[in-house]
Amino acid sequence: MIKDFNFYAPTRVVFGRDSEKEIGKLTVAAGGHKVLLHYGGGSAERSGLLTVVREQLRQAGVGYCELGGVVPNPLLSKVREGIELCRREGVDFILAVGGGSVIDSAKAIGYGVPYDGDVWDFWDGRAVPVACLPIGVVLTIPAAGSEMSSSCVITKDEGLLKRGVNSDLCRCRFAVMNPERTFTLPPYQTAAGATDIMMHTMERYFSKYEDMTLTDAISEALLRTVKDAARAVMHSPTDYRLRAQIMWAGSLAHNDLTECGTEKDFATHRLEHELSALFGVTHGAGLAALWPAWARYVAPRHLSRFVQFAVNVMGVTNDFAHPEETAERGIRAMEDFYREIGMPTTIPELLGRHLTDEEIEVLTDKCSRGGTITVGAMEVLDAEAMRTVYARANA
Ligand code: NZQ
Ligand code: ZN
C-alpha cells in the first residue's frame, strides 16, 4: 500500500561556503523591515557568525533588536519574553541563528505575536495557530531539521511539559546553510545531531506502508550517507565534504520528503521528549538510548521492514531462513554505530544511572497523558507498551 500525500516544502535553501552573504537580501525579499535576531547561549557570538549577520542586516538597511539565551530544549518563558519584545519593537520578521532550539523558540514567538490568548494554548490543544510571523534561519547545527519542518517543540517551565505543534504556517521562508559553520560543533553534538537526523527518516521508514520503493531508496541512501559521514567526521571535524552531507541530510530527513507514500510513526520521539524534558538530556542522545528497546519491542510484528533495514542500511547479510536473526543483527549493528560515535544505547548509559520505578511511572504518565493517548503508527503504543519500552531501555 502507498499512502496518499500532500508534500509542501516552501523553504528556500541557500547552501554553501559564502551563503551568509545572502542574509540581508533574503530578509528584505521576505518582507522583513524590523527583525528579531534570535540566538542561543554563545556559540554564534564566539564564532563571529552574529557579527556577520548584524553587518548583513545593517547593509540591507533592516532594523533589528536581539534576544539571545535560548537553551537546548527551549523554554516557554523565553518565548514569552520574545513575544513581549516583538510587540514592543514592532518586529515583523524573526531571524533564528542556531539550531533546532533557537528555530523552535522563533517559531513559537512567531505564533504568539499575532495571537491574543496565551501562546501555550497551541501546545495545550486549546487553540490552533492561524498566523505566524515570517521566519528565516541561519543554521549552525544539523540535527532537528526544524529549518524545513512544520514542527515546533517547546517545554513549559512549570511541570516540564515538552510538546510539539505542527503547522505549515511556521515553515521557514529561507534557510542559510554553510557547512563550515558546523566545524566548531563538539563531537557529542555532532553525534547527537546525526542520530536525530537518521531517526527522523527511520520514524517514517518503519511504516506499515511498504510499497513506495522510491521513497525507500531515498531514505536508505540518506541513512547510509549520514551513518558513513558521521563515523568519518568524528576523526575529521573540519572536512567540508562530510559536514555538507550531514547538513543537507538534516533538512531532507525532516521536510517530509521521506514520508511521501509512508506514514510518520514517531513513537521513539514521543518517548524521548519526556526524557529530555525531565532530565535535560540532548534530544539525539535520548533517541539513541531508546531506539534499540523500541525496535526489539516492535520488530517481531514487522519483520520484513526490519530485515530490509538490516540489509539495505546496515549492510547485514540476509539470512533468508531466519528473518528474526537478520532483523536482530540490524538492530545490533545500529547499536554498534551509536557506540562508535559516542552515543548511549540504554538509559543508564545516557543518565549515568538507572531510572527508579517511580521515574518510569512519571515518564509513562506524561507520555500517555495519564493514559488518555497513544503514540506511534506502524505500531500503536498504549501506556502499558510505553512502560515496557522505558523499562527495557532501563535494563
Ligand atoms: O546555545 P549555543 O551556545 O548556540 O550552543 C548550542 C547548543 O548548546 C550548540 N551549538 C549549535 N551550533 C553550534 C553549537 N556549538 C558549537 N558550534 C556550533 N556551530 O549545540 C547545542 C545544541 O543546540 P540545539 O539547537 O539545542 O540542537 P538541536 O538542533 O539538536 O535542537 C534540539 C531541539 O530541537 C527539538 C528537540 O526536541 C530539542 O528541543 N526538535 C525539534 C524538531 C523540529 N522543530 O522539527 C524536531 C526534532 O525531532 C526535535 O524534537
Ligand atoms: Zn528529532
Residue 388 counted as domain residue: yes
What pLDDT sits at residue 390? Answer: 98
226 and 207 in a common domain? yes
**Does ligand 1 lie within 6 Å of residue 185's CB atom?**
yes
What is the CATH number for 87?
A: 3.40.50.1970
Atom 16, ligand 1: residue with shortest CA distance: 185
70-76 average pLDDT score: 98
Centre of ligand 1 to C-alpha 109, Å, is 17
Domain boundary among the residues 150, 181, 212 is at: 181
Q: Using 50, 70 and 90 to split pLDDT, how confident is the model at 59?
A: very high
Q: Helix 323-340 crosses helix 303-312 at what angle (to 10 degrees)?
A: 50
Distances (CA, A) of 232 to 139, 189, 237, 242, 331: 21, 15, 8, 7, 21
Pocket test for ligand 1, best of 105, 149, 189, 265 (most atoms within 8 A of CB): 189
What domain range is 209 assigned to? 185-393
Mark out the alpha helices in the chain (DSSP H runs).
Answer: 23-29, 43-46, 49-59, 76-89, 100-112, 121-124, 187-205, 213-233, 240-252, 267-279, 283-298, 303-312, 323-340, 347-351, 357-367, 383-393
Whole-angstrom distance, CA of residue 232 vs CA of residue 339 = 14
pLDDT in tens, 262-279: 999 999 999 999 999 999
137 and 59 in a common domain? yes
Q: Which amino acid is at 197?
A: I
Residue 334 counted as domain residue: yes
Atom 34, ligand 1: residue with shortest CA distance: 100
The count of structural domains within the chain is 2
Q: What backbone torsions phi and psi does residue 247 show, to the nearest 5 degrees?
A: -65, -45
Q: Which residues surround ligand 2, an ion (CB under 5 A)?
A: 196
331 and 261 in a common domain? yes
For cell 509513562, the residue is: 364
pLDDT in tens, 308-360: 999 999 999 999 999 999 999 999 999 999 999 999 999 999 999 999 999 99
Whole-angstrom distance, CA of residue 231 vs CA of residue 98 = 23
Centre of ligand 1 to C-alpha 189, Å, is 8
158 and 93 in a common domain? yes
217 and 163 in a common domain? no
- Residue-averaged pLDDT of the chain: 98
Atom 45, ligand 1: residue with shortest CA distance: 146
What is the CATH number for 304?
A: 1.20.1090.10
CB-based contacts of 309, cutoff 8 Å, min separation 6: 202, 205, 206, 327, 330
Q: Using 50, 70 and 90 to split pLDDT, how confident is the model at 18?
A: very high
Q: Within 10 Å of residue 277's Cβ, how many Cβ atoms? A: 22
Q: Quick one: cell of 239?
A: 572536512
Q: Using 50, 70 and 90 to split pLDDT, how confident is the model at 391?
A: very high
- Structural contact between residues 226 and 197, judged by C-beta atoms closer than 8 angstroms: yes
Residue 2 counted as domain residue: no
DSSP-derived secondary structure letter, 22: G
Domain boundary among the residues 158, 181, 204 is at: 181
Residue 54 counted as domain residue: yes
What pLDDT sits at residue 96? Answer: 98
For cell 546553510, the residue is: 177
75 and 56 in a common domain? yes
214 and 166 in a common domain? no
pLDDT in tens, 122-149: 999 999 999 999 999 999 999 999 999 9
**Residue closest to 348 by CA, chosen among 293, 306, 305, 386:** 293
196 and 122 in a common domain? no
Domain boundary among the residues 181, 208, 232 is at: 181
**Does ligand 1 lie within 6 Å of residue 90's CB atom?**
no
Q: Which ligand does the CA of 43 lie closest to?
A: 1
pTM across the whole model: 0.98
125 and 192 in a common domain? no
**Does ligand 1 lie within 6 Å of residue 171's CB atom?**
no
Centre of ligand 1 to C-alpha 53, Å, is 19
Helix (H, G, I), strand (E, B) or coil at 156: strand
What pLDDT sits at residue 315? Answer: 98
